[in-house]
Amino acid sequence: MKTVVLYYSRSRKTASVAETIAQELSADIVEIKDLKDRSSFFSYLNASIDALRENKTKISPENIDLSDYGLIYIGSPTWAGKPAPAMLSLIDSCDFQGKDVILFTTMGSQGGRTVIKRMQEKIKARGSRMVNFLIIKTGGKEISEIKEDTRKKIDELDLKIYGI
């Protein structure tokens, strides 16, 4: 059973978690891009509003063929206690029927639980089940620390036993 890691990342923190997971688990990895420019400091407020309202956004790739995969990791940063719009848009556009899913989120300090809960509801409605989840705190941390924290979590949660 093949594993894939799908993620969105605005400032590369969720990307570093996703890359560590893919490396440790020898999984495929796909980055989802949000076609709305969210790079400037001023887009922060808009990004939070979009997340809070669960506004859809245009993404690339628009959807992903998951038929080769049995286990799917889905990762998003925490935005105003919600998943980033790119990941909710992706979940709505892919076929998750019968898949096992492990969700992960990064956050500065708080709100990760509600992100996991919301993504869990969304994937359940699309016919898959969450088998585990990870929340990684990134506030004040270097990328190397975030990667180390991710490796520790992978061991702690025994994530290598899934998808064998």
Ligand X SMILES: Cc1cc2nc3c(=O)[nH]c(=O)nc-3n(C[C@H](O)[C@H](O)[C@H](O)COP(=O)(O)O)c2cc1C
What residues make contact with ligand X under the rule CB under 6 A? 9-15, 44, 47-48, 77-81, 106-111, 138
Q: Toward ligand X, which CB reaches closer, 22 or 163?
A: 22
Closest distance of CB 22 from ligand X, Å: 15
Closest distance of CB 139 from ligand X, Å: 7
Closest distance of CB 57 from ligand X, Å: 13
**What residue ranges in the chain does DSSP mark as E strands?**
2-7, 28-31, 33-34, 59-60, 69-79, 82-83, 100-107, 129-137
Q: Toward ligand X, which CB reaches closer, 2 or 145?
A: 145
Q: Toward ligand X, which CB reaches closer, 32 or 100?
A: 32
Phi-psi region of 29 (alpha: psi -120 to 50; beta: other; left: phi over 0): beta
Type of residue numbered 65: D
Phi, psi dihedrals of residue 154, rounded to the nearest 5°: -60, -40
